[in-house]
Structure 1
Amino acid sequence: MPLNSINTNSGALIALQNLNTTNSELGVTQQRINTGKKVGNAKDNGAIWAMSKIQNATSSSLNSVKDSLQRGQSTIDVALAAGDTITDLLSKMKEKALAASDTSLNTASFNALLSDFTSLREQVQKAADNAKFNGASLADGKVTNMTFLANSDGTGFTVKAQTLGLAGLGLTTATPAFSSASSAKSMISDIDKAIGTATNKLASLGTSSVGLDTHLTFIGKLQDSLDAGVGNLVDADLAKESAKLQSLQTKQQLGVQALSIANQSTSSILSLFR
């Protein structure tokens, strides 16, 4: 039999406990809606929060990998651009050497062709020396290879450098380049070999560029997958939380009414003394 007491109202205490529980759940739901996360800190779920932080760190570190790979792309692109210029110059050098091999030329014409050839040869070396991006070059022969970041663990993607200067193409830097029609004719074969060497080296750089592009695409997809995985761990289902919010708000209102009714029950004791 329930005790009629003005000191202890069991019904009110139970109603208050239920209302406090509802208010606590409502606070959690409102926080999830405000932040968009079901796990916002270690108090919400320590294990899931720790995993999400680790994956977030990995994803963030991949930004540095992408930056490094993009620098690699730009460095190769500059070298390829220089290579295109160099192959064009070599073609013009061959044209000049062929023209100079004509034994019917007079001395003035021969010297003019030699001067043009020498100028073109100097431009080849300048193009190779100036093929730099951010101070680094894959074409000037000063490095044998260049390594860019490939993953968050510090592993690298190595690109083999290609010397596109005169020495790397097997061309002499002697002055004059040729002194007679016969030596100009001999120079033609040297230029042909240089063109073949240059195109092979450019092909190698092109292959490396494709490799960098492919790996950069992979890193982008990997980062997206990591971000999506973190979202699956910590993001709140806002549609579900919205429905839950409506339910808890209704439950809260009913709890307040129940507490009010329970508090009024003690007033019935007064009727015993009338």
Structure 2
Amino acid sequence: MAFSVNTNAGAFAALQNLNQTQSELRTTQTQINTGLRVSSAKDDAATFAIAQTLRGEVSGLQAVSSSLDRAQSTLDVAIAAGEAVSDLLIELKEKAVAAKDSGLDTSSRNSLNDDFQQLRDQITSIVQNAEFNGTNVVENGGDAVVAITNDTGSNTITIAAQDLSLGGANVTIGSAQSIGTQDAASVAVANIESSIQNVNTALSALGSGSSRIELQQTFVNQLSDAIEVGIGNLVDADLAETSANLQSLQVRQQLGLQALSIANQAPSTVLGLFR
């Protein structure tokens, strides 16, 4: 091999190897900093694209979870209102049955009727206030509960509204119902008994809807977790392996610097030829 001070092939080779080591070291340090083996499209374009698609699905499922939470809360309020109405109907039945007693004096009957009217009007108060986030499921003309169930929003769960207002489809006693007479009390008892059955059916429908929402929420959470794990399997760095690799690269870097230093000193040996 000819001696030359213009071209130092050894230095070039040492520099190329050192640059390669530096590049690998930067990649390893990035993996340690981010915890990711694939943090950008430059690392692995195909894997990065797959991971981004899956991240989009997870983001959509977060919106699904929020929708289901809202639906669950709305149903919880509706069920609480329905149970309160059911309890009031039982109390109303007690008053109405008592008012059927032909032996009651006028004062006692009036007292029972006053209590009846107060309980009756309380149903209206409960139904009107059974609202969550602008949705009332139990009022006359109430809104159905709708929740999205997939990450694109194309599938939904719908829980029908249940009218629990006075004189409505389920509560057949009217806003003017009274037990001021024995005959009126008899009519009220019949209306209350049918109302209790209707309200129980409505509560059953709301309860079944609530259970369905809970099951869907559980599934969505499990699906989201599974996708998150899948993303991790694709892009997460093995930090134990990366740590070992870092140690190796740091040694290679030091050796590369030594090799470059030795190669750079080679041209100076030419001076020995002129002594």
Give the C-alpha shift of residue 73 in structure 1.
0.7
Q: Any idea what the Cα deviations from partners look like across 1:183-231, whole Å, max 9, x if unmatched?
A: 3134223211111111111011011001101111111111112222222
Give the C-alpha shift of residue 170 in structure 1.
4.3
Q: Is the 8 A contact 2:135 2:143 kept in 1?
A: no
- Local SS of the residue matching 1:126: helix
Residue equivalent to 2:75: 76
Residue equivalent to 2:22: 23
- Structure 2: how far apart are the matches of 1:175 and 1:270? 120
TM-score by length of 2: 0.94
Give the C-alpha shift of residue 143 in structure 1.
3.3
Residue equivalent to 1:165: 165
Aligned length, in residue pairs: 273
Measured on the aligned residues, the alpha-carbon RMSD in Å equals 1.5
Give the C-alpha shift of residue 85 in structure 1.
0.9
Give the C-alpha shift of residue 176 in structure 1.
4.8
- Local SS of the residue matching 2:145: strand
Q: Is the 8 A contact 2:136 2:143 kept in 1?
A: no
- Local SS of the residue matching 1:105: coil
- Structure 1: how far apart are the matches of 2:44 and 2:160? 48
Residue equivalent to 2:199: 198
* Moved beyond 6 Å, runs of 4+: none
Shift in alpha-carbon separation, 1:175–1:256, aligned structure 2, 3 A: closer
Paired letter, 2:162: Q
Seq. identity, %: 44
Paired letter, 1:257: Q
- Structure 2: how far apart are the matches of 1:137 and 1:150? 21
Give the C-alpha shift of residue 104 in structure 1.
0.5
Give the C-alpha shift of residue 177 in structure 1.
2.3
Which structure 2 residue ranges, 5 or more long, are not aligned? none
Q: Any idea what the Cα deviations from partners look like across 1:152-193, whole Å, max 9, x if unmatched?
A: 111211111111112122423263524421331342232111
Paired letter, 1:263: N
Residue equivalent to 1:254: 255
TM-score by length of 1: 0.94
Paired letter, 2:120: R
Paired letter, 2:104: L
